Amino acid sequence: MPAQLIDGVQLSQQLRAEIAGRAAKLAAAGQQPGLAVILVGEDPASQVYVRNKVKACGDVGFHSVLEKYDADLSEAALLARIDALNNDSAIHGILVQMPLPRHINPSRVIEAIATAKDVDGYSVLSAGELVANLPGFRPCTPYGCMKLIESTGYDLRGKHAVVIGRSNTVGKPMALLLLQANATVTICHSATPNLGVYTRQADVVVAAVGRRNTLTADMVKPGAIVIDVGMNRDDAGKLCGDVDFAGVKEVASHITPVPGGVGPMTITMLLMNTVESAERVLGKRQEQLGQPAGMDPRPGTA
Give the active site residues.
53, 97, 120
* Local structure of residue 273 (DSSP, 8 states): H
CB of 204 to ligand NAP, least distance (A): 16
Query: How many residues comprise the chain?
Result: 302
Kindly tell me which of 62 and 198 has the beta carbon lying closer to ligand NAP.
198
CA 215 to chain centre: 22
d(CA 175, CA 222): 22
d(CA 237, CA 235): 5
For residue 238, give every residue at least 6 positions away whose Cβ sits within 8 Å of its Cβ, in sequence order, or none: none
Kindly tell me which of 26 and 121 has the beta carbon lying closer to ligand NAP.
121
Kindly tell me which of 233 and 298 has the beta carbon lying closer to ligand NAP.
233
Q: Which residues contribute to the site for ligand NAP (CB under 6 A)?
A: 141, 164-167, 169-171, 188-192, 195, 208-211, 214, 229-232, 262-263, 266
Instruction: List residues bridging with 228 in a β-sheet.
Output: 207
CB of 267 to ligand NAP, least distance (A): 8
CB of 281 to ligand NAP, least distance (A): 27
Check: CB of residue 263 under 8 Å from CB of residue 8. yes
For residue 25, give every residue at least 6 positions away whose Cβ sits within 8 Å of its Cβ, in sequence order, or none: none
Kindly tell me which of 73 and 240 has the beta carbon lying closer to ligand NAP.
240
* Local structure of residue 226 (DSSP, 8 states): E
